[in-house]
């Protein structure tokens, strides 16, 4: 029972940040390193739960992993892919127009 409560609290911790990122379409205040570490840790806890056959670890970390992975995907899309896409639309696909636009 304690495992399910602890897992539920961990899962709930990511939900507000994910909802905020979805509504504001901004992830600039979310730490990429924290997301990478948290997502990796949740995946490892889920795998550990599978190995020791602990349903509390499996269920709660599966849900937490999905939420954290979605937030990580939004972070990469918004903060990193957005830069690449904006760069290519402004300076051409290869960036060769960058040279001619610098004055």
Question: Nearest CA to 98 among 79, 83, 88?
Answer: 88
- Specify the residue for token string 């499996």: 58
* CB neighbourhood size of 35 (10 A): 21
**pLDDT higher than threshold 80 for residue 20:** yes
**Would you kindly state where each structural domain of the chain is located, as residue ranges?**
2-101
In terms of CATH architecture, what is 2-101? Up-down Bundle (1.20)
Q: For position 89, what pLDDT does the model report?
A: 55
What is the C-alpha separation between 74 and 96, in angstroms, rounded? Answer: 29
Is the Cβ–Cβ distance between 60 and 9 less than 8 Å? no
In this predicted model, what pLDDT tens digit does every residue of 33-91 receive, in sequence order?
Answer: 999 999 999 999 999 999 999 999 999 999 999 999 999 998 998 888 765 555 555 55
What is the C-alpha separation between 24 and 9, in angstroms, rounded? Answer: 24
Verdict on whether the full-model pTM lies above 0.75? no
């Amino acid at each position: 029972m304690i495992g399910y409560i602890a897992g539920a609290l961990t899962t709930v911790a990511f939900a507000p940040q994910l909802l905020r990122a979805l509504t504001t379409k901004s992830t600039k205040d979310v730490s990429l390193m924290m997301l990478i570490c948290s997502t990796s840790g949740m995946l490892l806890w889920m795998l550990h739960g599978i190995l020791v056959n602990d349903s509390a670890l499996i269920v709660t970390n599966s849900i937490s992993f999905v939420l954290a992975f979605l937030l990580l995907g939004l972070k990469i899309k918004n903060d990193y892919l957005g830069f690449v896409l904006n760069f290519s639309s402004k300076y051409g696909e290869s960036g060769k127009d960058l040279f001619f636009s610098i004055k």
